[in-house]
Amino acid sequence: MKVEMNLDNDSNNLVQAPTNGNSEKLSPSTLSSLLGSKDRYYLLCSTAAAAETDQQVKISDLEGKVIGIYFSANWYPPCRNFNRVLIGVYEQLKSNGSNFEIVFVSSDEDLDAFNNYRENMPWLSIPFSDLETKKALNRKYDVESIPCLVILQPDNTKDDDTYYDGVELIYRYGVDAFPFTKEKLDELRREEKRKHDSQTVTNLLTNPERDYLLDQTITRKVPVDSLKGKTVGLYLSAQWCMPCVEFTPKLISIYQKIKQALQEKGGGEDFEIVFVSNDRDQSSFESYFGTMPWLALPFRDPTARTLAKYFDVQWIPCLIIIGPDGKTVTKQGRNLINLYQENAYPFTDAKVESLEKELEEAAKSLPRSEYHAGHRHLLTLVSEGSGGGPFICCDCEEQGSGWAYQCLECGYEVHPRCIRAVTPQSSIEDRIQLDFSRQLRDVSHERFSADMATSPIPARNQANEASSKFPYKKKKERIVRQVFCF
């Protein structure tokens, strides 16, 4: 029932191979035992290449290359999204002669799906039928979620040369991540830190061709410099993304409350939001931005892509808060708005800490358990330390963390503020009506999610048994996030 909220501000920590003390060099024989089997010394080459050459590539040909072992499946949208990005990176690396190869390990459901998926892949694959090898690789690299890209160095003499988070490295650094050595990654991180240290609102939001933003008229230009000294929210969002469309009105109302409170307070302090669009065409950009009372980057401005990369934005909606000094305050603006509404302003650590203390205090006076109008079982108050933790509220569908009312029977969980207390004797008909409307909502959510929404870390193997029994729990695990891709 836990969902990953990715509350870390800094996702620099790389997941590395568990050290078992046995260093291994990727010699031909190691490679063969890793990627081949008793009677198979080859890998399938890409279907495009297969037309021209032999259908197979000898495993020994991979010797001396940096190898990405790529666990993925056609049926899972985040894999398909990552696949597109990976193809771009791979082709660029190949065209500049880099010593890189990828081997696809399929989690597809059948041979047709595998062949379909492989059709677009310019790299090598383990044959679909070789279940044994696929299983062994999953086990060896302890693959817990897909997509997963494990990077092996040609001379794997040190355990810490194996990177398990190739997906993140590719999303974050693209081709620059190659050859994925510790030295290279350290260098990229230093570079990134240098950029963040010298960050200002002007260098974030301008480029050589543009030093202005658009206001709601879309034609009037507002100088970026007018944001200096303000707290600024960068709102990465798109009209095609349902969670974005649901979050925007809430953000508008909170924005207006913050602006009003600052005006009443006086003193020149100000808050502004800049919409960074991921819309697919000018007209959706205009109709979506038309609902927003703040500023925007022009549609398809190159800075939008730069910002997404720079802040490592993988999911929308995303609200990044920049302080009056131009430095990043938090990338968790959306969560903080959901948790604390307008009280979240100015989103600083000190503010969040004091809000958390207030919540702790307030929780002391909350009833230990409660019947909620939207659920048939008794809900129990839980805290972070007593079975709680990050969750999706089954009532308002937004993220929560810390205190929650949780159904110990089925995992249903709501924010304390979303509780609509009822007495257990309250009319059965009411309850039936509520359950029925919830079922309808579940259905619409399901349809949507099949297409776009993604769960954070889906079980790559089998869906967890418990969750398939309980619709509410299952629903909670379907965290509503959207991939931010240009």
How far is residue 175 CA from its own chain's centroid?
A: 20
Q: Indicate whether 370 belongs to the interface with Zn ion (CB under 5 A).
A: no
Q: Does 392 bind Zn ion (CB under 5 A)?
A: no
Binding test (CB under 5 A) with Zn ion, winner from 73, 410, 453, 483? 410
CB of 409 to Zn ion, least distance (A): 4
Nearer to Zn ion (CB atom), residue 309 or residue 377: 377
| Cα–Cα distance for residue pair 244/461, rounded to 1 Å | 30
Say whether residue 407 binds Zn ion (CB under 5 A): yes
Q: Which is nearer to Zn ion, 212 or 470 (CB)?
A: 470
CB of 239 to Zn ion, least distance (A): 24
**What minimum distance in Å lies between the beta carbon of 410 and Zn ion?**
4
Contact flag: residue 412 with Zn ion (CB under 5 A): yes
Query: What's the burial of 110, exposed, middle or buried (CB within 10 Å: 0-12/13-18/19+)?
Result: exposed
Nearer to Zn ion, 159 or 409 (CB): 409
Looking at the Cβ atoms of 279 and 395, the one nearer to Zn ion is 395
Select the residue interacting with Zn ion from 101, 130, 168, 395 (CB under 5 A).
395
- The stretch among 64-72, 218-226, 300-308, 391-399 that binds Zn ion (CB under 5 A) is 391-399
Nearest approach, Cβ of residue 469 and Zn ion (Å): 12
Residue 302 vs 387, nearer CB to Zn ion: 387
- Distance in Å, CB of 393 to Zn ion, minimum: 3
Question: Is the Cβ of residue 286 or residue 384 nearer to Zn ion in the bound state?
Answer: 384
Does residue 393 belong to the site contacting Zn ion (CB under 5 A)?
yes
- Which one of residues 312, 384, 409, 442 is an interface residue with Zn ion (CB under 5 A)? 409
Least separation in angstroms between CB 378 and Zn ion: 8
Task: Please tell me whether residue 340 binds Zn ion under the rule CB under 5 A.
Answer: no
Indicate the residue among 161 and 395 with the shorter CB distance to Zn ion. Answer: 395
C-alpha to C-alpha distance for 420 and 413, rounded to whole angstroms = 13
Query: CA-CA distance, 393 to 471, in Å (whole number)?
Result: 14
418 binds Zn ion (CB under 5 A): yes
C-beta of 65 vs 475, nearer to Zn ion = 475
Name the minimum Å distance from CB 465 to Zn ion. 17
Count the residues of the shown chain that bind Zn ion, applying the rule CB under 5 A.
Answer: 10
Output the smallest distance, CB 474 to Zn ion, in A.
13
Among 2, 80, 184, 377, binds Zn ion (CB under 5 A): 377
User: Least Å distance between CB 111 and Zn ion?
Assistant: 41
Q: Which stretch binds Zn ion (CB under 5 A): 181-189, 314-322, 328-336, 396-404?
A: 396-404
What is the 3-class SS of the chain, one letter each residue?
A: CCCCCCCCCCCCCCCECCCCCCCCCCCHHHHHHHHCECCECEEECCHHHHHHCCCEEEHHHHCCCEEEEEEECCCCHHHHHHHHHHHHHHHHHHHCCCCEEEEEEECCCCHHHHHHHHCCCCCEECCCCCHHHHHHHHHHCCCCCCCEEEEECCCCCCHHHCECCHHHHHHHHHHHHCCCCHHHHHHHHHHHHHHHHCCCHHHHHCECCECEEECCCCCCEEEHHHHCCCEEEEEEECCCCHHHHHHHHHHHHHHHHHHHHHHHHCCCCCEEEEEEECCCCHHHHHHHHCCCCCEECCCCCHHHHHHHHHCCCCEECEEEEECCCCCEEECCHHHHHHHHHHHHCCCCHHHHHHHHHHHHHHHHCCCCEEEECCCCCEEEEECCCCCCCCEECCCCCCEECCCEEEECCCCCEECHHHCCEECCCCCHHHHHHHHHHHHHHHHHHHHHHHHCCECCCCCCCCCCHHHHHCHHHHHHHCCCEEECCC
User: Considering only residues 50, 396, 422, 452, which one is a binding residue for Zn ion as defined by CB under 5 A?
Assistant: 396
415 binds Zn ion (CB under 5 A): yes
Is the CB of 65 or the CB of 372 nearer to Zn ion?
A: 372
Q: Which is nearer to Zn ion, 93 or 393 (CB)?
A: 393
User: Where do contacts with Zn ion occur on this chain (CB under 5 A)?
Assistant: 377, 393, 395-396, 407, 409-410, 412, 415, 418
